[in-house]
Structure 1
Amino acid sequence: MPTPTPQPEPKKAPQFAAVKLRPMPEKPQPCCADETCENTVAAPVSAEGERYSWQVSGMDCAACARKVENAVRQLDGIGLVQVAFATEKLTVVANRDVRTQVEQAVQQAGYQLRGEHSAPEAPPSSLRENLPLLLLIVMMAISWLLEQFNHPLGQAAFIATTLVGLWPIARQALRLMKSGSWFAIETLMSVAAIGALFIGATAEAAMVLMLFLIGERLEGWAASRARRGVSALMALKPDTATRLRNGERQTVAASELQPGDTIEVPAGGRLPADGRLLSSFASFDESALTGESVPVERASGEAVPAGATSVDRLVTLEVVSRPGESAIDRILKLIEEAEERRAPIERFIDRFSRLYTPVIMGVALLVALLPPLLFSAPWLEWIYKSLALLLIGCPCALVISTPAAITSGLAAAARRGALIKGGAALEQLGSIRQIAFDKTGTLTIGKPQVAALNPLSGCSEEELLTLSAAVEQGSTHPLAQAIVQEAQRRQLAIPDAQAQRALAGKGIEAEVNGRTIHISAPDKLAASMLDSALLAQINRQESHGQTVVVVQRDGEVIGTLALQDTLRDDAKEAIAALHALGVQGVILTGDNPRAAAAIAGELALDFRAGLLPEDKVSAVQTLNQHAPLAMVGDGINDAPAMKAATIGIAMGSGTDVALETADAALTHNRLTGLGQMIRLARATHSNIRQNIAMALGLKAIFLVTTLLGITGLWLAVLADTGATVLVTANALRLLHRKD
């Protein structure tokens, strides 16, 4: 059970060069999913009182989070309630100890609580988890077979199948009613099944329940995948650290580190906290934070973020962040805040049921009672009409209309190599009018390649590349690997190098064939070593976004190599297709303005460069205020911006966190899939409108004819079944789209 702690005063996060995350500003959002919440925005937990936190188990969709909030909000003494669906975290602020009451209320609503820091429960086995659904499918098949040979026995079997499928759904509906959610999707499904049984549509009742349970299982699977992405983000920080104290090395938990502690990180190791470099010089892979593939060179005294990897040496650092306040922690918090401020789009049928279900039930009851009571009409005749109305009003066709179209749309997207995580994401995707792109790994390949060789002093291209590859062979630096790979691609014989050594802040050198070869950045050399023509060429290449290195042999410059991250082959085609759909684009990148301008110029896009993760979030929020925006990225640093956008889209080659945080992913890793996804989403949205019009239109027609006595019970059955067949057939058209 969690221990209450007084609400602490806000702490000022330490200023940090690599990642400085500020709280995101409030902005209006669409209506939330909860039936008690209309056009509201979740706010950070700030009410006064005792603060309690738990982890919630059993939530399958964002609407579940709203149901948990609704159940807790009805308790006395509650100041504020928040459920973050992405992290399964329930936070309550109250003026008294409400732990027992909160746990009981959540349990009565059909969910489970555990302590905030308790170990996660072991997931149930796949067979055990899917056993109710498998049982229902088997019973459905048996019922259908019996119906073919013995009608009464088949009807009895369908009734038994319906009751088995209805039991857990109706039980959950009753729980939600007690907790204040009167017309949730479970209530709608219970009414539909019972109504179908009441007038004898037993097969239809069983089928609707089976489809509903399949949809719930798929939502649960998607939710668990998303939460694994958050776990992967937290895993960027090691659990333990090597702390230096009084000349001794101590292995301690990362959570024990405090500002001022001195730690060691080996080559290839990740930083457990934000630190200040004490070693004279080192290279760090900060791609987990910035998304950029080229390691950053840090000198003594410079800041290095948690989650960064020491590329090639043992380093010593001074811890500058408190527990829970490192760069990774702040990005995780930013994701959680973005999740809270995004109003979840509830399934259409669940929203509509708040009015539709009680109205239909009320109309059917009035039809059964009023004519006999007020006008002495025959009871049996009007009860018969009431039953017909109940069947006509049975929302089976309406229940199937939206998920049928969404399922077809999602399947069609999967065939095209696009994973769209649920109907809400598909609906949002159709409204997109602008797209923000990360640069490295999204519009570009994400790995530097040798773009140009400029040999000097009688040195050939092959000799320049061979000597450079010999010096860089065995290095883990991406630029070094790009040089070696280019030499290998040209099938050059790379000689062995001796006495390789990295010179702090001055590059790398080695002896090759008895001569000293030195490689460094141009700004590490004395100005007198580079003539004006060479300097002009280097400046020109760097202005095009290329990284230039200078190669010396025995102190004499023998040439330069220019390396650059190149555009994806389909980037221009993808941008043109988006423009044809009326979707505009902008590049948001942490890279330098020169590299961003080079890529933006090739694609005719606007750009904003040098952005930290928090800057990307601010830019996305600003753009989102003008028109619905999609954020496309591949790195952990893109995850908060993806959450802040209308919809986040990840590249298939991206990090696990980006893939799991995003609402959609291009599994084939082709940018041309963006236009295909948007066209398909718009077609699906149109299909949903058609299905709803057919379902409600047929019901309206037969509602009038039944009251006039023109149609009877058997035509009512035909109307409801016919509407179901029509909307299903219309939805299946999405599977056969060519674009």
Structure 2
Amino acid sequence: MPRVRPEPKHAVQFAAVKMRPMSTCCTDTECKSAAAPEVNLAGDRYSWLVSGMDCAACARKVENAVRQISAVKQVQVAFATEKLTVVAGSDVRQQVERAVQQAGYQLRSENSAPPPAASPLRENLPLLLLIALMALSWGLEQFNHPFGQSAFIVTTLVGLWPIARQALRLIKSGSWFAIETLMSVAAIGALFIGATAEAAMVLLLFMIGERLEGWAASRARRGVSALMALKPDTAIRLHNGERQTVPASELRPGDTIEVPAGGRLPADGRLTSPFASFDESALTGESLPVEHRQGERVPAGATSVDRLVTLDVVSKPGESAIDRILKLIEEADERRAPIERFIDKFSRIYTPVIMGVALLVAVLPPLLFAEPWLAWIYKGLALLLIGCPCALVISTPAAITSGLAAAARHGALIKGGAALEQLGSIRQVAFDKTGTLTVGKPQVVALNPQNGVSEEELLALGAAVEQGSTHPLAQAIVQEAERRQLNIPQAQGQRVLMGKGIEAHVDGRLVRLSAPDNLTDAALRAQVEQQEAHGQTVIVLQRENQLLGTLALQDTLRDDAKEAIATLRTLGVQGVILTGDNPRAAAAIAGELGLDFRAGLLPEDKVQAVRKMAQRAPLAMVGDGINDAPAMKAATLGIAMGSGTDVALETADAALTHNHLTGLGQMIRLARATHRNIRQNIAIALGLKGVFLVTTLLGITGLWLAVLADTGATVLVTANALRLLGRRDQ
């Protein structure tokens, strides 16, 4: 049976969007992209899509190339989505396109189709040619040494040409110490000292490593892109009774669209059909179809399971649930983990230092101790290759990219490496109650009118004051009045009393809804306390300071709340409830879950509580409402429920798009696994280099094993990071 899910307060804000596949290396063809500027306070903002990036290090090379342009104020390349964003004080589009092309990459418009993928044969032709030449050279060497040496020289030059050309491009664009530069220097140096076979072998192993690295990076990116083929390019729009097939980008709020059975929604829409089931698994990770009723909002990318449906478009172009997650994924690249930023800075110093050390190894022993020149130059070249920081540089971003992709595949969006690193350190979780631990759909369960007011009048006045509010309790009161078909009077001058209640003028008289803190009637107060002891939330309604009665509402725990809390305990994470509800209602929920609680908190009280708790240990705040946003911001990490308000979702560092609390434990497990993976990758990268450094200086290993230490370590750390995509505990 399909699971019926109540309409969220706002549409699900996080979904998945398809990323374009990686293209082959760029050519010298001029890029004719049409990047459209967006006005930005710091300057004009331009954006393109980049083709030809094989790893996160490529993104840094593109950034370095663009930074050379004087008018550029800010540049960011999101490797996951292949998007380049530039903020500049003047129109720099042509300069940016030229700089990126000179660095060896291609740009294209965001709205343009990706270039056609090259055939496997054409894509691997340089590598296959080098393998054939290497085999031919080795064969000639067996029969005729001079011919063999000449063949190895030709093989080296053929393999060196594209690598050296790219090295020169990168030097011109500001990347002086790229791996291509180190390989070119090592290969040319090996030719000069007569190590022709090893020079050719170095280039062959490097090209094999590059292909393996590109494949691994492509697979890591597919871990995200598999979630993202959700929004169709065209839509069927109904206009004056006629069906029109139009580009999805032409849809505007108010348009009526038709989606056939098995079709995907091109934009966020409000269902006009009586009811329908939608498969939202690609957006939220929820395996069962979700049944929506007429008037409920359905996110772009959802699939109509069994029938033709009509919907009214409610999202503007570029602002659907799918578009929002694409933007958030791009922003996540800016929030790099501290360890990633450290490794990046370290590598910028490390590489020139290694080149200097390699030079000293090559010249000092012959100059100071009369050692043979060729032997020590050979060792210096090997050290140059061993010292290449590629494996170290990608050790962290490879793991983080895989971790973020694995989380997104299972309905959790983590906004960047910094948030992922913080998540792994969490030892406490503070929960809001309504809409977080509970379903967020309370119902009116009791009405207690006073002073001659009827139940209908009490409920109608409460609904008048609460109309238009997004708070779950307010919506419950309005829905109950509508269910009873009451005539709800018009309210004016509605004013929220933050953390205390709400008031408005109805028929010229001030009506207030508030907590029952100041009740003076002993009998009524005893009744309220009894209701609160059963987990009910009681609201007092007053008109011109005259008590008109109370309304009792009750919410239910989420089905997975107990399981989620138990999982957190096994991870050594303690939980506490922070709520503005009354202590007795909070105690009822906390008792079921075995949690501590603090009740009757105003938003500022929640902030103080969060700050105090965070001083003891890293703390995550989980909430869904506007009143939770300040506390989420004050916590070590803010986590929003996917059905929460825009403010909560924007403030949060992570979000559970499927609204399942069990996702908390899964996110923490994944974050900790990612941390372990990063440590393993750094150990692999540095460990292999350390071993081969010693063996090279002792004369045990040579050039081809040195390059194997670098490319092999790069492939190993990437493959190790890919294991995160296959984790089954998500």
Short-chain TM bin: 0.5 to 0.7
1:259 aligns with 2:256: no
Aligned positions of 1:665-680 closer than 5 A: none
1:18 aligns with 2:11: yes
Hey, what's the Cα distance between the residues in 2 that align with 1:287 and 1:242? Answer: 23
Q: Given the superposition, is the C-alpha separation of residues 156 and 404 from structure 1 closer, same or farther in structure 2, using an over 3 Å criterion?
A: farther
3-state SS of the aligned residue for 2:124? helix
Deviation readout 1:301-345 (Å, 9 max, x if unpaired): 332222223344443322211111111111111111112333667
Hey, what's the Cα distance between the residues in 2 that align with 1:275 and 1:81? Answer: 35
Residue in structure 1 matched with residue 541 of structure 2 by the alignment: none
Report the residue type matching 2:97 in the other structure.
Answer: E
Contact map agreement 1:258 1:320 (CA 8 A) in 2 = yes
3-state SS of the aligned residue for 1:395? helix
The range that moved more, 277-286 or 254-263, is 277-286
Report the residue type matching 1:51 in the other structure.
Answer: R
Report the residue type matching 2:241 in the other structure.
Answer: G
Hey, what's the Cα distance between the residues in 2 that align with 1:85 and 1:282? Answer: 38
TM-score when normalising by structure 2: 0.54
Hey, what's the Cα distance between the residues in 2 that align with 1:184 and 1:331? Answer: 33
Contact map agreement 2:271 2:294 (CA 8 A) in 1 = yes
Aligned positions of 1:552-591 closer than 5 A: none
**CA root-mean-square deviation:** 6.4
Deviation readout 1:24-46 (Å, 9 max, x if unpaired): xxxxxxxxxxxxxxxxxxxx994
* Unaligned runs of at least 5 residues, structure 2: 1-7, 16-37, 408-416, 430-482, 484-533, 535-554, 577-585, 595-618, 640-648, 656-662, 721-730
Hey, what's the Cα distance between the residues in 2 that align with 1:621 and 1:69? Answer: 33
Aligned positions of 1:77-156 closer than 5 A: 77-156=71-150
TM-score when normalising by structure 1: 0.54
Contact map agreement 2:14 2:283 (CA 8 A) in 1 = no
Report the residue type matching 1:686 in the other structure.
Answer: A
Report the residue type matching 2:238 in the other structure.
Answer: L
Q: Given the superposition, is the C-alpha separation of residues 113 and 175 from structure 1 closer, same or farther in structure 2, using an over 3 Å criterion?
A: same
1:67 deviation in Å?
A: 1.2
Contact map agreement 1:271 1:306 (CA 8 A) in 2 = yes
Contact map agreement 2:77 2:83 (CA 8 A) in 1 = yes
1:250 aligns with 2:244: yes
Deviation readout 1:337-362 (Å, 9 max, x if unpaired): 11233366779996566323541465
Contact map agreement 2:271 2:298 (CA 8 A) in 1 = yes
Report the residue type matching 1:305 in the other structure.
Answer: P
Contact map agreement 2:57 2:394 (CA 8 A) in 1 = no
Residue in structure 2 matched with residue 342 of structure 1 by the alignment: 336
3-state SS of the aligned residue for 2:232? coil
Alignment partner of 2:386 out of 383, 390, 398? 398
Hey, what's the Cα distance between the residues in 2 that align with 1:168 and 1:575? Answer: 55
Residue in structure 2 matched with residue 480 of structure 1 by the alignment: none
Q: Given the superposition, is the C-alpha separation of residues 301 and 190 from structure 1 closer, same or farther in structure 2, using an over 3 Å criterion?
A: same
3-state SS of the aligned residue for 2:273? coil
Residue in structure 1 matched with residue 48 of structure 2 by the alignment: 54
Q: Given the superposition, is the C-alpha separation of residues 140 and 722 from structure 1 closer, same or farther in structure 2, using an over 3 Å criterion?
A: closer
Q: Given the superposition, is the C-alpha separation of residues 87 and 258 from structure 1 closer, same or farther in structure 2, using an over 3 Å criterion?
A: same
3-state SS of the aligned residue for 1:82? strand
Hey, what's the Cα distance between the residues in 2 that align with 1:92 and 1:610? Answer: 34
Deviation readout 1:86-145 (Å, 9 max, x if unpaired): 222222333333232222221211112223322211111111111111122233333334
Residue in structure 2 matched with residue 309 of structure 1 by the alignment: 303
Residue in structure 2 matched with residue 462 of structure 1 by the alignment: none
1:254 deviation in Å?
A: 1.8
Report the residue type matching 2:689 in the other structure.
Answer: I
Residue in structure 1 matched with residue 195 of structure 2 by the alignment: 201
1:191 aligns with 2:185: yes
Contact map agreement 1:405 1:684 (CA 8 A) in 2 = no
Residue in structure 2 matched with residue 694 of structure 1 by the alignment: 691
Deviation readout 1:400-454 (Å, 9 max, x if unpaired): 89859999xx9xxx9xxx99xxxxx9xx99x9667999xxxxxxxxxxxxxxxxx
3-state SS of the aligned residue for 2:244? strand
Deviation readout 1:46-95 (Å, 9 max, x if unpaired): 45333333222211111111211211221232233222222222223333
Report the residue type matching 2:11 in the other structure.
Answer: A
Contact map agreement 1:397 1:721 (CA 8 A) in 2 = no
3-state SS of the aligned residue for 2:123? helix
Q: Given the superposition, is the C-alpha separation of residues 567 and 400 from structure 1 closer, same or farther in structure 2, using an over 3 Å criterion?
A: farther
1:214 deviation in Å?
A: 1.6
Contact map agreement 1:195 1:391 (CA 8 A) in 2 = no
Q: How many residues align?
A: 522
Aligned positions of 1:47-446 closer than 5 A: 48-225=42-219, 233-342=227-336, 351=348, 354-360=351-357, 363=360, 367=364, 384-385=372-373, 388-389=376-377, 391-395=379-383, 398=386
Hey, what's the Cα distance between the residues in 2 that align with 1:401 and 1:314? Answer: 56
Report the residue type matching 1:18 in the other structure.
Answer: A
Report the residue type matching 1:394 in the other structure.
Answer: A
Contact map agreement 2:351 2:389 (CA 8 A) in 1 = no
3-state SS of the aligned residue for 2:131? helix
Deviation readout 1:387-409 (Å, 9 max, x if unpaired): 624533533661589859999xx
Report the residue type matching 2:70 in the other structure.
Answer: D
Q: What percent identity do the matched residue pairs reach?
A: 57
Residue in structure 2 matched with residue 470 of structure 1 by the alignment: none
Hey, what's the Cα distance between the residues in 2 that align with 1:332 and 1:69? Answer: 20
Contact map agreement 2:231 2:301 (CA 8 A) in 1 = yes
Q: Given the superposition, is the C-alpha separation of residues 79 and 47 from structure 1 closer, same or farther in structure 2, using an over 3 Å criterion?
A: farther
Hey, what's the Cα distance between the residues in 2 that align with 1:18 and 1:110? Answer: 41
Report the residue type matching 1:17 in the other structure.
Answer: H
Hey, what's the Cα distance between the residues in 2 that align with 1:211 and 1:353? Answer: 23
3-state SS of the aligned residue for 2:326? helix
Hey, what's the Cα distance between the residues in 2 that align with 1:608 and 1:293? Answer: 27
Hey, what's the Cα distance between the residues in 1 that align with 2:124 and 2:653? Answer: 34
Hey, what's the Cα distance between the residues in 1 that align with 2:134 and 2:574? Answer: 49
Deviation readout 1:711-735 (Å, 9 max, x if unpaired): xxxx858677887899989x99x99
3-state SS of the aligned residue for 1:323? coil
* Unaligned runs of at least 5 residues, structure 1: 1-14, 23-43, 372-376, 420-424, 438-504, 506-535, 537-541, 547-563, 587-592, 626-630, 632-640, 649-657, 659-668, 703-714
Contact map agreement 1:82 1:91 (CA 8 A) in 2 = yes
Contact map agreement 2:236 2:259 (CA 8 A) in 1 = yes
Q: Given the superposition, is the C-alpha separation of residues 721 and 260 from structure 1 closer, same or farther in structure 2, using an over 3 Å criterion?
A: closer
Contact map agreement 2:279 2:304 (CA 8 A) in 1 = yes
